């Protein structure tokens, strides 16, 4: 797994490389522990789930939990599993795409231009980051009701567009990684704002975009969304899985399986994004 590259740099000592490897493996175990536990739990038969003290590794693996999950899901009502999955997927994809576009557009303007109120606005965004979400639930609901968005996808998708975290991250990132000279040069060559943004700024902040994408997918994919959604056919996958898991002690196996299931999309997205991030940011496009 962690083979050290043969062509080592001359000023890197072998002992140093081994040290780094050890540290990575050690902390990697910490990080991997919950995942190993979740995977193992998903395959444990019911009796093994309640063994005390709990065991990390499964003894007699079974796929019953997973098949139970699908079975229960389709038995529950008229709404099929695929419909829940579609709802969640739609919210995640549209919400993430919109969020990245809107947040980076605003961030570009805030990072590269000064206009009346720009600093105040950014400060307000930073402050809003810190507010605990629970208290906003009721005022938010009132607004959704007034807009007529209750019980539509819009109530889940549109607020995700304006999440302050994305703007904050993108602005800081653009400020530090896009030289003003580059934007100026493009302007002198006659590029309009839209063109500068899409062909120069966005490709340069690709790592930040992918980071933001991971964030956003993570948040939206796990969105239970029961506050605004009542119709069963609009409800999300996490909601459906949570309802299943709430069925009592006998459903412990099913709930472990559903936890594993919910993890698949974020993990896959991360791995894909990760391999794209690598080495794309070799140079900031400027030679002094």
**Residues from 201 through 220 that contact another protein (CB under 8 A):** 207-208, 210-211, 214-215, 218-219
184 counts as binding another protein under rule CB under 8 A: no
In the region spanning residues 219 to 278, those forming contacts with another protein, defined by CB under 8 A, are 219, 221-224, 238, 241-242, 245-246, 251-252, 255-256, 258-259, 262-263, 266-267, 270-271, 274-275, 277-278
Contacts 24+ apart (CB under 8 A), 124-129: 125/164, 125/167, 125/168, 126/164, 126/168, 128/164, 129/164, 129/165, 129/168
Nearest distance from C-beta of residue 28 to another protein, angstroms: 5
Of the candidates 180, 203, 230, 233, which one interacts with another protein according to CB under 8 A? 180
Distance CA(189)–CA(131), nearest Å, equals: 43
Q: How many CB atoms lie within 10 A of CB 11?
A: 6
Nearest distance from C-beta of residue 77 to another protein, angstroms: 20
Query: Site for another protein (CB under 8 A): how many residues?
Result: 116
Nearest distance from C-beta of residue 15 to another protein, angstroms: 14
27 counts as binding another protein under rule CB under 8 A: yes
Residue whose C-alpha is closest to residue 95's, from 215, 259, 197: 215
| Contact residues for 187 (Cβ-Cβ < 8 A; gap 6+) | 196
Distance CA(21)–CA(33), nearest Å, equals: 18
The structure tokens 């703007």 sit at: 167
Of 62-70, 74-82, 89-97, 167-175: span binding another protein (CB under 8 A): 167-175
119 counts as binding another protein under rule CB under 8 A: no
């Amino acid at each position: 797994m962690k083979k050290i590259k043969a062509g080592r740099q001359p000023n890197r000592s072998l002992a140093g490389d081994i040290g780094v490897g050890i540290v990575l493996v050690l902390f990697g175990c910490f990080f991997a522990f919950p995942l190993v536990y979740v995977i193992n739990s998903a395959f444990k038969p019911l009796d093994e789930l309640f063994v005390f003290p709990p065991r990390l590794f499964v003894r007699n693996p079974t796929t019953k939990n997973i098949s139970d999950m699908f079975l229960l899901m389709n038995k529950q009502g008229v709404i099929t599993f695929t419909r829940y999955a579609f709802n969640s997927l739609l919210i995640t994809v549209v919400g993430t795409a919109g969020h990245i576009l809107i947040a980076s557009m605003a961030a570009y303007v805030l990072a590269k231009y000064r206009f009346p109120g720009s600093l105040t606005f950014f400060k307000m965004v930073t402050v809003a980051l810190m507010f605990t979400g629970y208290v906003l639930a009721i005022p938010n609901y009132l607004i959704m009701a007034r807009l007529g968005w209750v019980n539509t996808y819009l109530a889940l998708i549109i607020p995700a567009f304006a999440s302050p975290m994305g703007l904050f991250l993108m602005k800081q990132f653009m400020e530090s990684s896009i030289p003003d000279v580059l934007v100026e040069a493009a302007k002198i060559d006659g590029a309009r704002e839209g063109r500068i943004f899409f062909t120069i700024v966005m490709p340069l902040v690709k790592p930040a975009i992918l980071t933001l994408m991971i964030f956003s997918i993570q948040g939206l994919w796990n969105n239970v969304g029961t506050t605004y959604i009542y119709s069963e056919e609009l409800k999300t996958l996490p909601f459906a899985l949570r309802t299943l898991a709430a069925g009592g002690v006998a459903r412990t196996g099913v709930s472990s399986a559903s936890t594993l299931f919910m993890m698949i999309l974020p993990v896959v997205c991360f791995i894909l994004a990760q391999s794209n991030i690598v080495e794309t940011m070799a140079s900031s496009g400027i030679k002094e």
